[in-house]
Amino acid sequence: MKRLGLAATLAAVLALLPATARADTTYPDPLPLTGQQIIHDPTVHHLKNGRYVAYSTGGIIGARLSTDMRRWDDAGNAFTEPPGWWYEYNDKADPWAPDLSYRDGRYWLYYAVSSWGTNHSAIGVATSRTGMPGTWTDHGKVFTSEKTDPWNAIDPAIVRADGKLWMSFGSYWTGIRMVELNPKTGKAIPGATVHHLATRPDAPYAVEGPSIVKHGRYYYLFASYDACCQGVNSTYKIRVGRSTKVTGPYVDSTGKPLLEGGGDLLLAGHGRYVGTGGESVFRDKGKDWLAYHYYDAEDNGTPKLGLNRLGWKADGWPSLP
């Protein structure tokens, strides 16, 4: 058989690959930002007072404020001091991965308290009329996990579906789970079923940080896969699957279940933007946005805020234009 040149061989190989595999090799850079960009596990919201707020892991739930979603300023913390019960789960009262939402005339801030490498964890909730830093009233535990549980109660994310309120959560320990909440208290319904949404085939089941949104007739589950929190050595990436029911089953565009390790790759590290993950999705002025952190390879691996427009293809799957 005639021997092909390198370029021709590469072209022949690429022609045999599915289109999605080719598309996954390039990713858009995040929106150019200024000001205080250092952040981890961001949740972003456009408040009714006109300001944008981003809450995050670090401090007593660190806060950033912006008037245009481009320049961000340090705004202290959500809380002036940590609630006492946090010390049951972390000796430094260090909260993680908040989730901000609005309903029934109040802002609701969910967050996790745990320690690295254990599933002795708790998710808490606080409310505020304005959503601004320093205005939050804590209401205690929403849902907990212990070392005997096959899940980890961290990384909460709230979604409403079919008249009910749901919270997805999870990190390692068999992956992403979901539980129904009481809409009046914002806390888990006692004895509610803990649904299983996504996992990896093998231990340590490296998937965490869910975010669920509805588009069209589908619910879309975004999650962070692989290793976080290692600076320029982080391998975090964002994958997505969808389901017609909020409780699943979720599948990727090939039909592979997320409970079997499936998930379309939406965003991975590229160039200076390493370890993209810790994501959340928010809507502003009729447009959807993806918020996440990345580790800046040109700034010693400092974690920074990433923002990208979230688009939707004709077949309903999300894309980053």
Element (H, E) at 12: helix 6-16
Asked if residue 318 has a cis previous peptide bond (ω within 30° of 0), the answer is no
Catalytic residues: 41, 208
Q: Is 43 exposed, middle or buried (0-12, 13-18, 19+ CB in 10 A)?
A: buried
Cα gap 135→321, rounded to integer Å = 36
Kindly state the tokens that stand for 154.
């961290």
CA–CA gap between residue 53 and residue 34 (Å, rounded): 15
Amino acid at 118: T
Most distant CA pair in the chain, distance: 74
Q: Provide, for the chain, the percentages of residues in helix, strand and coil under a 3-state DSSP scheme, each rounded to the nearest 5.
A: 10, 45, 45
